[in-house]
Every structure is written in structure tokens, then in C-alpha cells.
Amino acid sequence: MPHTVVCIDPGHPSETSKGASANGLSELHLNWVIANDVVEALKKDNIKCVLTKDTEDKFVTNRQRAEIANEAHAVLLLRLHCDIGGKSGVTLFYPNCFIEKEGVTGPPVAVQQSSRLAAIKIAAVLKQSLGSDLPVNTVKTDEDTYIGHKQGGDLTASVFSLVPTVLVEMCVLTNKKDDLFISSSVGQNLIDSYGSAVILIMLLEMIKI
Ligand SMILES: [Zn+2]
């Protein structure tokens, strides 16, 4: 698949926040490491990836993140995040309405529909590959996020995205079981490659659509 381009968006720092941290784990760092592992692995399958930033600490607005995916004509804008709070497991979010922001109304209905299909498919793949290791929660919409709700239904990147977009909260950092899954104290404090592998499997399946 030489022409397939996936846009991987390691979440933060953006105008929203620098990213969460809990139990000694930094969301910013986890997002970055997993994103890069996935890019490397996909390269071996001739799948080109575009990252939304070139260094971990680079500030990129959420609008710019979508614009990078649009310019690359990506088949998917996959946004990697980690959550905090009282929940556990993986949760996927997709836009299911359009709103107006900075003079732009979006995302288009076709993008809403393809994002929904992508989220459902990814959740199914994740369920299969994760088994009982980490729960995969019911797919949700941008409206279910704090910022999406506050903005009238969509996350900012979704408004500007012209390609299917899914945000995945890969785990809940405040949950010890999730932490064990996503991180490893073995070796040089490396991120467990299993976390990356799961995202990779999901992407490969996703591209088969
Ligand atoms: Zn985040």
C-alpha cells in the first residue's frame, strides 16, 4: 500500500493543555513514544505516517493538527491520548455533528460518517486484541468530552478535519491496572511495546476498510 498515509497525532501540548500526568506517568511522553513506535512499525509495511509534530514538546494547535492530516490526504487522523479520572480502559471518540469555529463549519457529514465507522471498527479490533487485559468502552462522540460539550458538540481538530478522525484515550493514567498495562519498569523505563502493538494492529485493520 505505497499510497496509504496515516496521520498520527501524539496529543499535547496544544492550546487546550500540556497533557495529564498521574502515578509518575506523563501523558505527553506516552503519546509521543507510542506514536513513534507505531510510525516505525508501519514503515516496515510500506505505510507512510505523518506525525503532527516533530518533537515531543512542540506546541501545535488542534486546528493545525487537523490541517496537517488534510494536507497529507491521510486515510485517518488518529489522535493518541491518555485519560485521567475514575474510569478504566480504552475509549474512542468521533465527531457526529458540525459546529462553527474560527469561521469554519465542520466537519462535513461525510467525515462524521467515516469517523464513526472508523471508531466502531477500531473498537472491535481493540476488543479482540486486548481481551481481558484492558476494557474497551463503548464508542463515544466528541460531545461526550468536556471540551467537545463546551464547544457545542465537537473537538477543535474534528471541526477542521477533512479526513476521518478518531481520538483514542489509550488508558486511564489514574487507574493502576491501566498503568501496568501501558507502562513497564523493565529496562530503561520503556513503554511496554504491547501498547504500541495494539495501536499498530488496530491501524493495520483499519486501513483494510
Ligand atoms: Zn490528552
Q: Is the pLDDT reported for residue 67 higher than 80?
A: yes
Which of 49, 62, 28 minimizes the C-alpha distance to 156? 62
Q: Are 62 and 147 in contact (CB under 8 A)?
A: no
pTM equals 0.90
What angle is formed at CA 24 by the lines to CA 141 and CA 13, rounded to 5 degrees? 50
Cα–Cα distance measured from residue 74 to residue 67, given in angstroms and rounded to the nearest whole number: 10
Q: Report the separation in Å between the CA atom of 27 and the middle of ligand 1, taken as the mean of its atom positions.
A: 7
What CATH number should be reported for the domain holding residue 80? 3.40.630.40
pLDDT at 140: 98
Cα–Cα distance measured from residue 159 to residue 105, given in angstroms and rounded to the nearest whole number: 7
Where do runs of H (alpha helix) occur along the chain? 27-43, 62-71, 109-130, 146-150, 156-160, 176-182, 193-207
Q: Report the separation in Å between the CA atom of 2 and the middle of ligand 1, taken as the mean of its atom positions.
A: 31
Average pLDDT estimate for 62-83 = 95
Q: Report the separation in Å between the CA atom of 34 and the middle of ligand 1, taken as the mean of its atom positions.
A: 13
pLDDT at 92: 94
Domain of residue 21: give its range: 5-207
Q: Report the separation in Å between the CA atom of 123 and the middle of ligand 1, taken as the mean of its atom positions.
A: 18
Q: For residue 207, name the pLDDT band (cuts at 50, 70, 90).
A: low
Q: Report the separation in Å between the CA atom of 128 and the middle of ligand 1, taken as the mean of its atom positions.
A: 24
Q: Report the separation in Å between the CA atom of 171 and the middle of ligand 1, taken as the mean of its atom positions.
A: 11
Q: Report the separation in Å between the CA atom of 83 and the middle of ligand 1, taken as the mean of its atom positions.
A: 6
pLDDT at 53: 98
Ion ligand 1 residue ranges (Cβ < 5 Å): 11, 81
Q: Report the separation in Å between the CA atom of 22 and the middle of ligand 1, taken as the mean of its atom positions.
A: 12
Q: Report the separation in Å between the CA atom of 1 and the middle of ligand 1, taken as the mean of its atom positions.
A: 30
Q: Report the separation in Å between the CA atom of 167 and the middle of ligand 1, taken as the mean of its atom positions.
A: 9
**Highest mean pLDDT, choosing among 19-33, 72-86, 100-114, 123-137:** 100-114
Count of structural domains within the chain: 1
Average pLDDT estimate for 148-159 = 98
Q: Report the separation in Å between the CA atom of 72 and the middle of ligand 1, taken as the mean of its atom positions.
A: 23
Residues in Cβ contact with 50 at an 8 Å cutoff, skipping those fewer than 6 apart: 5, 6, 7, 8, 68, 69, 72, 74
Q: Is the pLDDT reported for residue 58 higher than 50?
A: yes
